[in-house]
Amino acid sequence: MTVITRFAPSPTGHLHVGNIRAALHNWLFAQKSGGQFLLRLDDTDLERSRPEYADAIRADLQWLGLTWDAEAKQSERFALYESRFAALHAAGHVYPAYETQQELELRRKVLLGRGLPPVYDRGALSLTPEQIAAYEAEGRQPHWRFKLDHDQPIVWTDLIRGEQRFDPKLLSDPVIRRADGSWLYMLPSVIDDIDMGITHVLRGEDHVSNTATQIQMFTALGAPLPAFAHEALLTGAEGKLSKRLGSLGVAHFRELGLEPMAIASLLARLGSSQSVEPFVDMAPLIDSFDFAHFGRAPARFDEAELAGLNQKIVHLLPYDAVAARLPDGMDATAWDAIRPNLETVAGAADWWRIVTGPIDTPAPEAEDCDFLASAHRILTDAPFDAAIWRTLTEALKGETGRKGKTLFLPLRRALTGLDHGPDMSLLLPLIGREEALRRLQA
């Protein structure tokens, strides 16, 4: 069996961190299994779906390195849904219902007030032809529900949650089609999963009850069930579900200058028993991906952890991987010198300006003026090679008796304008003799 997974976002907005995690895990499992990863745009909501959102979804996945083997759009598959719907109707698996939204909400409130589960009572099934005619004379058009089989308990073994069991009598017959003829999520998703040969459906635990009803749809359509895996939802750093997680997407992460592999390294293992580590390519994440590592405890997403992971990854990146994003003139030697002080690759530009100048330097302390004049004199005559920093500081130490902070800090301030930064033994050769002399004199 060829493993086939899918990521099926609705192009009604931008991907958020939860969507990204679902896409990543489906992609990782397909890659590890030597299978296929499909992108399906669930755009049955023609009013809210937008081409620009679809384009943004594709761009986000590509930036993250998640390539797909095929793409489909539900808006181009309506004829298939009609034919499957007709077959279900003929077999008695779907039925029309005429209640308004207000009527349904009132019934729901009454049941809740009585301490009962708000399950639809199947009132539509007992309508007489005269009642239906009266509704239609009012101009009511029916919505359509899938009729659950109350005699068959719904049981499956979830790849993450283990055995799952639902009593269909405690579930409402799901609405699958609106009165205007438009489709809701439930049935088209099942039809597509069957038609596309999806073998594994991996999604959030908020879909568990959807899966229960969709399992009966697979059965009614005479199709084998895919394997299901439902992941714990992400929580915020404060330890509870956070609305902010719904607004964190690729655009936000890119604005922060984060690496795609930082996001992948964190989200690939978030919620699992495996430790989160900085990786510079997907191979280790693919090799180690296993549903058995994931548990039911909420997965905590922390932006501070992501930033720290990104910094570690930046420190591992070779020059060739970042050269196209570095300032003009910055070579491999400069990257190696500056890289340990970076939080993002974009930060290299700030340090390169320190190297190339001009810079603003604070006025030296009075007791440091003669010391810097001595540094200027020594630097003028010393051989300017890779060991120039050691040569300069050893000579100054011998002349002035200074050591430690009193030796190094005035030099760093004069040469960079800062108290901290990259190793001066690597930075000074990049600054060059003439610019260094100018700064010392200034």
Binding-site residues for ATP:
243
62 vs 55, 67, 323, 423, CA distance in Å? 11, 6, 20, 36
Rg (the chain; Cα; Å): 32
> Is the preceding omega at residue 358 within 30 degrees of 0, hence cis?
yes
How many residues are given for the chain?
442
Report how far residue 230's alpha carbon sits from residue 247's, in angstroms, rounded to the nearest whole number: 22
The neighbour count for residue 282, using CB atoms within 10 Å, is 21
DSSP single-letter state for residue 256 = T
CB proximity list for 196: less than 8 A, separation 6 or greater: 4, 6, 38, 40, 72
210 vs 77, 201, 213, 251, 277, CA distance in Å? 21, 12, 5, 30, 34
- 230, 236, 242, 246 alpha-carbon torsion, rounded to 10°: -70
Residue type present at position 276? V
Residue type present at position 384? F
Dihedral sign (CA 313, 319, 321, 324): positive
Which residues define the annotated binding site? 243
CB 106 within 8 A of CB 123: no
Report the DSSP beta bridge partners of residue 230: 203
3-state secondary structure of 258: coil
Dihedral sign (CA 291, 297, 302, 308): negative
